[in-house]
Chains A and B, each alone.
Chain A
Amino acid sequence: MTVIADIPDVPRAARRPQIGNPVVRWLRTNLFSSIPNGILSIVLLAVLAKGIFSFVQWGIANAVWLTPANDSSACRAVRGLGACWAIIPEKYRFILFGTYPFDEQWRPALSVVLFIALYFLSTRRAFWRRELIYLWIGALALISVLMWGGVLGLSFVSQDRWGGLPVTLILATFGLAFGFPLGILVALGRRSKLPAIRSLSVLYVELIRGVPLVSLLFVASVMFPLFMPSGFNIDKLLRAQIAIILFAGAYLAEVIRGGLQAVPRGQYEAADALGLSYWRKHRLIVLPQAIRHVIPPLVNTFIAFFKDTSLVLIIGIFDLLTTAKTAIIDPAWQQFSVEVYIFVAAIYFIFCFAMSRYSRSLEATSGR
């Protein structure tokens, strides 16, 4: 408990006379403020130095960076001593784009760029207008054309051959694009005065939130074919996408409901006094305020289900994690799965870290 004992004492440190070398002063206040703290710092420094040293030895000094095509003998020679980063240049096309026709892989690559541009524009405050919706519709349509093809001289690529990063981004983005309006409707339904609509919304939200996503994906992959009329079958990727939309809708509904609760009663009453209809009241007055309130938790929900799209591995859809896992089935490279997982983890990390930084900057500026 001595560790947190120092929180309220910040002013005391500030009151200390500001003399001596600034580096020494910094060390004294931050690392060696007391004897136990000094011992802790030394122990941590030693552990950290050892950790960094062994990682540098494994990951840089002894690592193999490039090998001739499909020859892993150099990697096997250093197995256990150094990393085999050579597996990344060997396999990155498959990890990033799966079994998409090799010569056409500029199309998924361009789609990824479009997705990132779309995310970037959506984070700019200047774009938070109605036009953003048209931008999303346009970008998603363009991405669909790029991925499927069949028009404008692009050859048709069926979605069985899609894979890798574009699939992860498609699952997450379309899940968001459809889950968000669904979430708004359900959140409104849950606060509705009409008992039948309210209880249906509560049932939906609690049912989806009470069970793991894995079981919803099982429903999509195993039970869905039973639900449909015979002879009518939907593609596996689309079924998983529907499961993710339903899943996202329930979680987003709860976040939006929190925002609706934060809108003062006076706003509802003022809208009623103006004689606005239910939908106009919510569209023009309530929802813009409610959603502004909950943007940071919304971004956190996006991060959570961006990560959760990786669960489609369990029903065998080729997202980024599944292509990574498949890439290391190759017997020549089987032993170097750790390197591949680190590579894929870095990709996921970049996306999620950017989003969480963004959410934090929003929280910091939301008071203004």
Chain B
Amino acid sequence: MANLYTDNKEIKFHLEHPLMEKIVRLKERDYSFSNDFDFAPMNYNDAMDSYDRVLEVVGDICGNIVAPNAEGIDEEGPKVVDGHVVYAKGTQENVDALVKAGLMGMSLPYKFDGLNFPIVPYIMAADIVSRADAGFVNIWGLQDCAETINEYASEEQKERFLPRVCAGETMAMDLTEPDAGSDLQAVQLKAVWNEEKQTWILNGVKRFITNGDGDISLVLARSEQGTKDGRGLSMFIYDKQHGGVTVRRIEHKMGIIGSPTCELVFKDAPAEIVGSRRMGLIKYVMALMNGARLGIAAQSVGLCEAAYREAIAYAKEREQFGKPIIQFPAVYEMISTMKAKLDAARTLLYETARFVDMYKTYAHISEERKLEKEERNEMKKYQRLADIYTPLVKGMASEYSNELAYDAVQIHGGSGFMKDYPVERIYRDARITSIYEGTTQLQVVAAIRGVTTGAYLNQIKIYEAEPISPELEKLRSTLIELTADYEKAVETVVGEDNNEFIDYHARRLVEMAGHIIMSYLLLIDTTRDAMFLRSAKNYVSFARAKVKANAEFIRASEVSDLEFHKFNTKE
């Protein structure tokens, strides 16, 4: 009777973060919902108890159904039958179990049959599901597309679609096309208003669509004929009940095989518009993407957890030269570093989730009443933080999931290369995290603003001033030194006043900020609970080496170096 929540006390630690009291109070509108909904919490303790118990249900289903199904799903995969997707047997079992347990639409409002959970416990559920099966989390986690409907659709649309999501209908977001991947401005799927039928009609092709045959899809399409850029795109809801979309094929992928990645053909598919015309890419896709990026960060952390656990279990069991291999420095250092990266990525994940909760909850409240000035300022502050932390955590955590998966295979030696152990699957599943929902390189493009505007530095200074345990003072001194290195590196790069030079060093700078931020978060965590001491010490050592290396690279670089990196596309 494995439970993937109760065996992971780190998750509960993050659930109990001091800021949660405010998040929950805002989310529950001072607990006034409890007058109208008989399962809504009456106070903070009641709410936290409910989150804890519901996560225990998630942990139970993941331990006893989702994790045991992962291998079979990876082998069987989904199929296309008559233009529609048929999930692998295990996938359907997983979906049925989670739907029956009422774990769809977790973060949606009570009035649409949701659980009104803050993003934090919802992301915790995603973290747990990903650890059990990172391929399956895509199908379950697409419920967060409903957040975009909840934010931007009309009240009437919300009433029609959101209860269906809560009842277990799956979702998809149809953005990518053969010629529009990272560059979504190039989307061509045609949307034309049909006066006679009083509906929009979609025609064209979408590619690489996760769960493309979902019940309710958000579709990015060109509503303004003759336009060529992002300003001609609008967002639509396609309801599978109406028909018009068929699945041409499912991609054969390296990993996350259970998650059907579809090529879709839209043939006179009726659809309804969400929000305002021409705002599809500019506003709604950005919202969708930010939600999805946080989801991928959670998927990455869940994968890190899975990789770490497989690695440490094997290293304790496997004996060579007369002792368990975990007793060799080369191995135990790898595993302790894996744990440090896991704890670092997870603390950044939940810090980001809290920022998202704070600003989104204020945004919803602002639709009900005018916010006080102080509240408005707070909303703006957290929105800015969420905007720079989301790409940071997506970028860092997804790279770590790959590093941890690589190390976990390495620790298994030859056995890790075989399909006999789960690490082989984890390794393949992790590979996509740093690619989809924007590659790491694109996360850097979004995150670099946090470097150039000084927003990361401001936040680092706030962490620096936080009270910490006296035993951590030495680590803090190290971080103060690294922060000075970071400031100097930023000054060097920005001082050249050359955008290409900033782009060239962007990843190095963003990673420096990331290492320092995660280190500070671990010091703060350790002050609340000593179980993080190992990871705090190990991560600061790791961060010091990384930050110093990047600082030295930047110090010694010149704009003219770029010429030695460039390639001529014409030759």
Co-assembled chains A and B:
no
Residues of A within 8 A of B (CB): none
